[in-house]
Structure 1
Amino acid sequence: MAENKTLPLLPLRGMMIFPYMMIHLDAGRERSMAALEQAMVEDREIMLTAQLDAEVDEPTRKDLYMVGTVAEIRQLVKMPGGTIRVLVEGQCRAIIRDYRELETYAEVEVEEFPDPVDTSMEMEALTRAVIHQFEEWVRLSKKIPPETLVSVAIMDDAGRLADLIASHLNLKLETRQELLAAIPVHDRLETLYQILTRELEILKLEQKIGNKVRRQMDKIQKDYYLREQIKAIREELGDKDGRTEEIETARSLLKAGDYPDLVRRVVEKELRRLEGMNNMNAETSVIRNYVDCLLDLPWTNASEDNVDLAEAEKILNRDHYGLEKVKDRILDYLAVHKLAQDKTAPILCLVGPPGVGKTSLAASVARATGRKFVRASLGGVRDEAEIRGHRRTYVGAMPGRIIEGIRNAGTCNPVFLLDEVDKLDMDYRGDPSAALLEVLDPAQNRTFSDHYVELPFDLSHVLWIVTANNLGNIPRPLRDRMEIITLSSYTEIEKLEIAKRYLVARQRGQNGLSAKDIRFGAGVLAEMIASYTRESGVRELERIIGRACRKAARRIVEGAEKPIRISKKNLTDFVGKPKFLDTKASRKPQIGVVTGMAWTEVGGTILPTEVAVLKGKGKLILTGQLGDVMQESAQAGLTYIRSQSDRLNLPQDFYEKDDIHIHLPEGAVPKDGPSAGITMATAMVSALTQRKVRSDVAMTGEITLRGTVLPIGGLKEKVLAAYREGMKTIILPKDNEKDIEDIPASVRDKLEFVPVESMDQVLKTALM
C-alpha cells in the first residue's frame, strides 16, 4: 500500500541509487548539506533522485527525474574543506508528488512503492530467465566474483533480485533510471531481461573480435615459425638467408676486377665471415658496407692523361685569362709526365684573394689533363675523422673525404681539389691539418691508410690542388709539403678582358638573355670596374653585370624594344649610383697624413695614416686597433726621430712636451703587420716639422732604430691596390726592387718606383 511522506531532497549528479544499495556519497553544495542535516534532525530519511543534467549546480523541479529512492542515512561525517560524506541505504522506490523550495533546502512530498510479493509461476519463470542471463553475463564478462552469483541464486524476492542485478551492470544513467522507474516488478524483470540479452550480444561480439585478433597473432607466430624453418632448409642447401646471390655477386666482381692481392684476401675473409653469420646479427650490415666499399674503390683503375701539350694549353687559355705562372706549371707537369709516367704527381697550393679563379682553375686543369675532377671543401672542418674516416667499430662509420672522393671519381688519379685549406679548425676530436700531412706528403701518400678501409691506398698518382686565401694560416709542416703558387689581384685591364670573355656571356645565360637582347656600349664595362668595384677578384664585378642583365630582362618582359642598350649615360638606371666617385689621390697634400700600403687575405689595400701633435707630457697614443707588430714599428719610428732631432730641426725635448697621436682610420678593423714602419715614421716627421706630404705617394717598408728600410712581402698586391686608388709614386725597400718585374707591365709603366735604403731617402721623396 503506497504511502505519502514529506522528506528533504538530495539531488544526485551523474548517478542514481537502487533500493537495497548501500553507498557513500559526498555532498558539497550548501542546499544538499542542509537537506542532509535536516534529515538527521528528523527520522534520518531522505529522498534521492538524479539530475537530468549533471552540470546544473542549483537544480529545480524541471531539472530532476520524478522517480527516485527513499534512503536511510546510516552515517554522516563532516570532511575537511566543508564537505559532508554520508553512508546511505536505499529503502524503496518513490515518486515525487509535490516539490517545495525552502530557504536552505528543497522539500518533496513523495509516494512510496514497496515491492509486493508475487509467487506466481510466470513470475518464477521470468525470475529464472533473468538469473540465467545474468549467470551467462558473469561468465563472459568475468567482472564479478562468483560469490555474487550465490547471493543472487538464493534470493526469493523478485524485486530485490532485479535491483541487485541492475546495480552490478555497467549501464548508462538513462538505462538505470528506466529500471528504477519500472515500478511493477514484472515490468522491471522484463526490461532487465532485454538489457541482459543486449549486453550478452555485445559481449559475444567482443569475444568474437578478440578471437579474430588472437587468430591473427597466431598466424603471425606461425609465419615466423615457418620462416625459421625455411632458413633451416636454406642452410642445409647452402643458401644462408638468401645471401648466396649477394655473396656470389661480390666474388664475381672480385674475380673480374683488377684488385691487389691484399684486397682480395681481405674481401674473401669478410665474405666467409658473412656466410657464417645469422641475419639477425647487427654486424652483417657493417660487413656488407665494408665489402662494397673495398670493391668500389679504384685500386688500379686510372684514367688516361691527355699528353697533348698544345691542346692542354688551348683549354687552359680558353677557360682563364692571365694566370700565366699556374698554366706554365701545369704544362711543365704534363711534359714531365709524358717522359716519366710512373713519377708522382705534384701538390700545388694556389694562394690568392677571393675571386681570382683558384677553384675554377682546378676544374680547368682536370679538363686539360683529361682526368676526373673531385672537390672537397675543408672550411670549418674540425674532426680528424673527416679526413681519415671512422673506425668500423663506431655506429654509422664511413670513409673519410679523401677515400670517398676517390671512390666517387672511379679512378685512382683524379684532379683532387682541397678547397680553403687555410680555414681548417681543430678541437678535442683531433687536428685535421695533421691528418692531411700523410695525404699531401709524396713520400707517404703511396700507402695512405683510412681508418675505415684499414688497407693502404696509393694516392701518389692524384694531382692535388690546394687553395688558400692566407698562406700564414696554413701550418708550417703542411705548407712544407706543397708547391706554393701565388695568384695576385687582377689589374683593371685584366678585369676588362675577363668581363668581355666570360662574365657578360655567363650572366646573359643565367638571366635568360641572348647577345641580341642586351648590348653593353663602349666604356661601360670599364666604368663598372672603375666606379663600382675595388676588389682583387671579379666576383663583385660579375654581380654588377648580373644586376644590369636583370634590369634589362625586366624591361624586355614589360615590352621594351630589343636590344636593351646600356651606355655610360644610362648606367645608373641599371646598376645604381657609383660607389667610388673619385679616388683618394684627388685630395691635396696635407701635414701628418701619409698613404701606406698593406696586404690582407682579400688582396692588397691602402692604409691611410694620420698623426697629430698635441701639447702634453710626451705620450705616444696609438688608435685604430693596431696589433703588437705595428705598435712596435711606431715605437721604433719615434726612437729614430728622436735620434735625428738635430737633422730634422726639432727641439731636443720635443718628445717630453708634446703628445703624438697616431691613428689609422677604420678603427673597427684590426690591423697588424711589419710593413707600416716607414709610413708611421714619415707621418710623425711631417706632423712635427709641419711639412706636407705628397698625396700621390704610397709607401711600404719596415724601419729599424737607425732608419734602415727593411724588405716586405706582397709587393704586387700592394702596388695594384695603390694603383686602383690613383697613386703615381711608390716608395719601396731597395731589397724589393727585384719584385717590380712581377707587376703587370700595364701598371708598371704608369707608376714611378722609388727604391730606398734609409728613411732619409723616404723623407726626401715624400715630403714637399
Structure 2
Amino acid sequence: MFTEDNPKIENELVLPVLAVRGLVFFPGMMLQFDVARKKSVLAISDALSKDRLIFLVSQTDLSDKEPTGDDLYKTGVIARIKQVMHHSEEGVKLHVEGACRGEISTLLQEEPFLLGQITKCPVLTYKPSYRSEALLRIVHEKFDEYLRLFKHVPPDILLGVLQEKDCGRLADYIASNISIDFERKQYILDELRPLKRLQKLIDVLTEEIKILSVENEINQKAQAQMDENQREYFLKEQLRAITSELGEDDNPQQEADELRERVLALGLSQVCEEKLLKECDKLYRMPYGSHEASVIRMYLDTCLELPWKKSSKEKLDLVRAQRILDRDHYGLEKVKERFLEILAVKSLAPQQTGQIICLVGPPGVGKTSIARSIAQATGRKYVRVSLGGVSDEAEIMGHRRTYVGSMPGRIISAVKQAGVNNPLLLLDEIDKLGQNFKGDPASALLEVLDPEQNAEFTDHYIDLPFDLSNVLFITTANDASRIPGPLYDRMDIIELGSYTLEEKLNIASRHLIKKQLKKHGIKASQLKFSKAGLKELVEGYTREAGVRTLERLIASVCRKVAKMIVSDPEFTSFTVKPENLESLLGPRKFTKDQLAGEDTIGLVNGLAWTSVGGELLPIEVAVMEGTGKIQLTGSLGDVMKESAGAAITCIRTRAGALGISPKFYEKCDIHIHAPEGAVPKDGPSAGIAMATAITSALCGIPVRHDVAMTGEITLQGRVLPIGGLKEKSMAAYKNGIHTVIIPAENVPDLTEVDPVVKEHIQFIPVKRVDTVLETALTHMPRPVTQEPVGLPSEIAAKHQKAPELYQ
C-alpha cells in the first residue's frame, strides 16, 4: 500500500496527468471511476506502459471539456493504477489508489495527452501536544455531530476515524469520506501542515453541520406537512366511505370539491378567489346536515351565479335604435335624443362607462316603458327594481351573513337575475325612498350611482367587490325635489312633461288601442274608434298628464264590446263615436272648459306645479265689512300664507293709485280661499294671483276669465321667477286659457314649452305687479286724490253699474 512516506516514489517525476471533474483524491484513498475523454484514456495507457503511476488533479471549471494547464489546480495526488476495465468503446473504468501529494512543476505537453513534471510534496511532521490532542477531540465531536445529521456514512468509516491518531492522515481520511463539494476538499488537500489541515477540516465540518441542520429542519417541516396531508387524505377517504355506506352520497365534502372546481373555472381576481376557496374549505369540514353548511352552500351558490365576467354584446346601430324607439313610443324626443347620444359616444369610445340617467315626470308619461325600449334598442338585458317605499338600507346593500335569512341587496339580485354584468337596470320611483331607524337607503345608493365608486361595489352579503361600471342605470321619479341633493347630483336629469291633446290622440291610435284589442282578443275590424269619438274620450273622461286613465277607459270599452261579441251571434263591428260614449262609460266627467264663462270679481286663475303635472289653481277673494281680519283657507302652506301677506302689503302700498281707501284694512275683512280645500297647497308662485284677486275684490273690477298667471310677488311689487313653467303652461292650454302672465326672468324657459302650447297661448312677461293688473283686470281703477267715501261693497256695486265713472 502506498502512503505519503512511501520511499519508493521519487521526489521529481515525469507522469501523465489525468484531469478529473468534481473529484478530489487524497493519499491512501482507493476509488473506481469512469474515464471517457480521449486525452485521459491516452494518459492511462501511457501510465500502464511504464510504472503504472499517474498524477490525478481536479480541474477548476467543471464545464471545461478540454482543460489545459491553466485550468488545473496545482496540488493533486500521485496514484498507482490498480486495475483497468474496458467499460465501453468510448471509455474505461479505472481503479486507483492514492499514494502521496504532488504538485505540477511544469506541464511538459498537452497533446496527445497531458504530461507534467511532478514534484512530490514533503510529508511534514508535528510534535504531539495539548493543541494536537484538542484538535483531535474537536474533530471527533464534529464528525459525530455530522454523522447524526448525515446518516448516509457507512459504519466502517466511523471505525477508520476512531483508529486513526495522526492529525494529517485523519484530516485526509475524513475529508475524503464526507459529502462536501470538491472546492472545499481541494482547500484541505492544498494544506501540507497536519495541524493546520485539521483546523481547516474543523472549519469545513462546522459549516457543513450548520447547513445540514437547516436542511434537516426544512425536511422535517416538509415531512410533517406531508404526513398531515396524508392523514387528512386518509380521514377524508374514510369519511367518504362511511357516508357512502350510510347512503348519504350528497355530502359537503363532495359538494365542496365541485364548488372549488367552479370557483377556479371563473378566473376571478386573487382576493375573490381566495375568499371563495376558503369558504369551500369550510364547507369541506362541515358535518353532513349541519345548518352552517347550508348557509355556506347558499352563499357559494349565490356568488357563483353572479355574472362576474359574462356580458352581452351591445348593439350600437343608431338607425336601428331610432327605429325601435319610434316604433314603441310617440313623442319623448328629448329622451330618445339623449340615448342616441349615449350610443354614439359608446361607438367612438367603447371604454366609456357610467351613464346614469334620471327620468323625471308625472305618472303615465312612459318613463318605465321607454327604459324597456332602450334596453331592446341597445341589446342589453332589462331588469326593473322598484324602490317605492324602501326604507331599509339593507334592501340596497344586502344583509350581512351573520343574520338568519340574510340575502343580497336588490342591486346584486337584479344583476344576478339579468345574467350579464352590463344590463340596463331601471331603478323605479327613486323619489319615494323612505328613511327610518333602519338606515337611509338613499345614502346607500350613492355608491351604486357613482361611476367613480361602483367599479368595486361591495354588497354586505357577497362581501366581495363587484364591478357595476358596465351597468346602464336609469332611474325614474315624479318629483325631483324629493330626491336628496347628493343623489340628485350624481344623475343626468331629463324632464318629461305632460302630453298634449294631439299627443294623446296619436298615442291612443298608434299604441293603446292596438294593445288593448290584442289583450281582449278583439279583431281590429270588430272595434273601431272614430277620430271625434277618441277626442271626446280624451277631453270628456280624462284629465291627467299621462295616458294611464285613457288606457283604462279604452280597456273598459273593449270589455263592453267583448260582451257584445259573445252575446250577439250576429255582431259584426262597433264604432266608438261621441254620441255613444255615454252609453259605454256613463256621463261625461269633465266639462270642456272648467273656467267661468264670464269675467268675475275676486276670481283669478293661478297656475300650480304638482308631481303629476301642472294644474289650474283658482284663487278667490271676498271682501266684507269688518275690523280688518284676514282669513286664509284651502289647506295653504306656510310659504303660500306668507305670499298672501306680501300681496296685501303690496296692495296697501299703492292703495291710492288703485282707488282703494288707505284704511281698508281697518274697515274690511278679507277672506282668501283656494278651492279643493282638502288638497294641500304651498309655494310662492301664487303671489301675483293673490294680489290681482285682492285688488279686484277691493276695487270691484272683474278679472278676465281667459287669463292665468304665475309668479312670486315682493312687497315693492316686483315679480320674481318661478319653476315648472312647462307643466303650468300645459295646464293652462288644457283648460282653454288664451293668455298666461309669467315673470320676465322666465322667458328663457319658454324654449322648453311644447310648440302646440305656444301656438295657442300668448305669454306676457312682466316685471312688476302693475303690468299684471293692467293685463288681468277688465279695466284699471281710477286713482283718487282723497279717500273714497263708502265701503268696498258699495264701491263694487257702483263699479258694476257704471264702470266708466271710475276710470
| Distance in 2, Cα, partners of 1:258 & 1:750 | 64
Match in the other structure for 2:585 = 575
Q: Which runs of 5+ in 1 are unaligned?
A: 1-227
For 1:362, which of 371, 377, 384 is the aligned residue?
Answer: 371
1:567-617 CA distance string (max 9 Å, x none): 222221222211113312352100000000001111110001100011111
Aligned residue for 2:531, secondary structure, equals coil
Match in the other structure for 1:271 = 280
What residue identity is the alignment partner of 2:633? T
Q: Which runs of 5+ in 2 are unaligned?
A: 1-236, 779-807
| Aligned-residue offset at 1:280 | 4.1
Match in the other structure for 2:389 = 380
Match in the other structure for 2:193 = none
The answer to whether residue 263 in structure 2 is matched with residue 254 in structure 1 is yes
| Aligned-residue offset at 1:240 | 8.7
Match in the other structure for 1:331 = 340
What residue identity is the alignment partner of 1:429? K
The answer to whether residue 731 in structure 2 is matched with residue 731 in structure 1 is no
Q: How does 1:233-632 map to 2 (within 5 A)?
A: 233-234=242-243, 242-559=251-568, 560-632=570-642
| Distance in 2, Cα, partners of 1:676 & 1:569 | 40
Residue pair 1:260, 1:299 contacting (<8 A) in 2 also: no
For 2:699, which of 686, 689, 693 is the aligned residue?
Answer: 689
What residue identity is the alignment partner of 2:621? V
| Aligned-residue offset at 1:293 | 1.2
Match in the other structure for 1:648 = 658
Q: How does 1:637-716 map to 2 (within 5 A)?
A: 637-716=647-726
| Distance in 2, Cα, partners of 1:415 & 1:258 | 25
| Aligned-residue offset at 1:331 | 0.7
Residue pair 1:388, 1:451 contacting (<8 A) in 2 also: yes
| Aligned-residue offset at 1:258 | 4.0
Instruction: Say how many residue pairs are matched.
Output: 540
The answer to whether residue 776 in structure 2 is matched with residue 766 in structure 1 is yes
1:163-207 CA distance string (max 9 Å, x none): xxxxxxxxxxxxxxxxxxxxxxxxxxxxxxxxxxxxxxxxxxxxx
| Distance in 2, Cα, partners of 1:234 & 1:279 | 9
Rate the CA distance shift 1:656–1:623 in 2: closer, same or farther, 3 A: same
Residue pair 1:518, 1:562 contacting (<8 A) in 2 also: no
| Distance in 2, Cα, partners of 1:314 & 1:297 | 33
Residue pair 2:252, 2:286 contacting (<8 A) in 1 also: no
1:487-541 CA distance string (max 9 Å, x none): 0000000000000110000111111101011111231111111111110000011
| Aligned-residue offset at 1:552 | 0.8
What residue identity is the alignment partner of 1:354? P
| Distance in 1, Cα, partners of 2:389 & 2:548 | 22
| Aligned-residue offset at 1:253 | 2.3
| Distance in 1, Cα, partners of 2:269 & 2:311 | 14
Rate the CA distance shift 1:231–1:257 in 2: closer, same or farther, 3 A: closer
| Aligned-residue offset at 1:344 | 1.6
Q: Give the TM-score of the pair, scaled to structure 1.
A: 0.69
The farther-off stretch of 398-407 and 650-659 is: 650-659
Aligned residue for 2:750, secondary structure, equals helix
| Aligned-residue offset at 1:562 | 1.1
Rate the CA distance shift 1:286–1:730 in 2: closer, same or farther, 3 A: same
Residue pair 1:609, 1:680 contacting (<8 A) in 2 also: yes
Residue pair 2:711, 2:743 contacting (<8 A) in 1 also: yes
Aligned residue for 1:760, secondary structure, equals helix
| Distance in 2, Cα, partners of 1:332 & 1:389 | 34
What residue identity is the alignment partner of 1:749? E
| Aligned-residue offset at 1:403 | 0.5
| Distance in 1, Cα, partners of 2:519 & 2:487 | 39
Aligned residue for 1:569, secondary structure, equals helix
| Distance in 2, Cα, partners of 1:231 & 1:412 | 38
The farther-off stretch of 550-559 and 565-574 is: 565-574
Residue pair 1:379, 1:419 contacting (<8 A) in 2 also: yes
Match in the other structure for 2:750 = 740
What residue identity is the alignment partner of 1:577? P
Aligned residue for 1:345, secondary structure, equals coil
Structure number with larger C-alpha Rg: 2
| Aligned-residue offset at 1:241 | 6.3
Aligned residue for 1:584, secondary structure, equals coil
| Aligned-residue offset at 1:233 | 3.1
Residue pair 1:351, 1:486 contacting (<8 A) in 2 also: yes
What residue identity is the alignment partner of 1:424? L
Match in the other structure for 2:762 = 752
What residue identity is the alignment partner of 1:664? A
Residue pair 1:263, 1:294 contacting (<8 A) in 2 also: no
What residue identity is the alignment partner of 2:667? K
| Aligned-residue offset at 1:251 | 2.8
Rate the CA distance shift 1:553–1:266 in 2: closer, same or farther, 3 A: same
What residue identity is the alignment partner of 1:601? S
| Aligned-residue offset at 1:742 | 1.6
1:318-371 CA distance string (max 9 Å, x none): 111111111111011111111111122311111110000011111111101100
What residue identity is the alignment partner of 1:676? A
| Distance in 2, Cα, partners of 1:487 & 1:583 | 25
| Aligned-residue offset at 1:458 | 1.1
What residue identity is the alignment partner of 2:499? Y
Question: Alignment identity in percent?
Answer: 54
Q: Give the TM-score of the pair, scaled to structure 2.
A: 0.65
Residue pair 2:380, 2:422 contacting (<8 A) in 1 also: yes
| Distance in 2, Cα, partners of 1:621 & 1:677 | 16
| Aligned-residue offset at 1:260 | 2.7
Residue pair 2:256, 2:281 contacting (<8 A) in 1 also: no
Rate the CA distance shift 1:762–1:288 in 2: closer, same or farther, 3 A: same
1:652-684 CA distance string (max 9 Å, x none): 211111111000011111110121000000000
| Aligned-residue offset at 1:259 | 2.6
| Aligned-residue offset at 1:234 | 4.9
